[in-house]
Copies of this chain bind each other. A is one copy, B any other.
Amino acid sequence: MKHGPESLSRLVDELIKLPGVGRKTAERLAFYVLKSSREQVATLATALTEVKEKVKLCSECHSMTETDPCAICRDPGRDKSLICVVEEPHDVYAIERINEYRGRYHVLMGVLSPLDGIGPDELTIDELVKRVSVGGVEEVIVATNPNVEGESTAMYLSKTLGDTGVTVTRIARGLPMGGDLEYADEVTLSKALGGRIRM
């Protein structure tokens, strides 16, 4: 947008910073904004600033919320004896979407990754141990991602929580539904075989 109005170039420069947005996409978005009504643009701008102002992390489980503690932690209908550990705040919504899980959550705010300088102290592991130590928790389901970092974080959690006497479980790794044996990678297939259950 070297040749366009200055405010248009500035908008394109800001949009390019968004993930997955290159120059062409940014220009297309900017032209769309120009064609939109003043009200539509104002609504988008307000939504952007409000989300930063209103959304905090729950002091209990570290998931995203506008109230503290979050709706899930406050819900007396949720099973207090069950904690599902996930990596990121948005992982909570992935599990909520299946509408089956009735326990609570604990967001680690990342995974162990020594190469990136992320050790146990950078995560909310201490807080998890504290929540479990207080008592009343019977099972911790580790739902970190099934990759190298997620697996090693799961191992670390299992070891760390060992002293508390709580049962630590890991979500099943296997063939995805609708998947094809022929196209499955070796690691997934090995996990699927190892994790077989009686029918």
Contacts and interface: CB of A to CB of B under 8 A. Distances in A.
Interface of A: 1-8, 10-11, 13-15, 17-20, 25, 27-34, 36, 38, 40-55, 64-66, 89-90, 92-93, 96-97
Nearest to A90: B31
Q: How many copies of this chain sit in the oligomeric assembly?
A: 2
A116 to B, nearest CB: 16
Contacts of A38: 52
A14 to B, nearest CB: 5
A5 B54 contact: yes
A122 to B, nearest CB: 15
A28 B34 contact: no
Contacts of A53: 7
Contact of A7 (B31, B44, B51, B93): B51
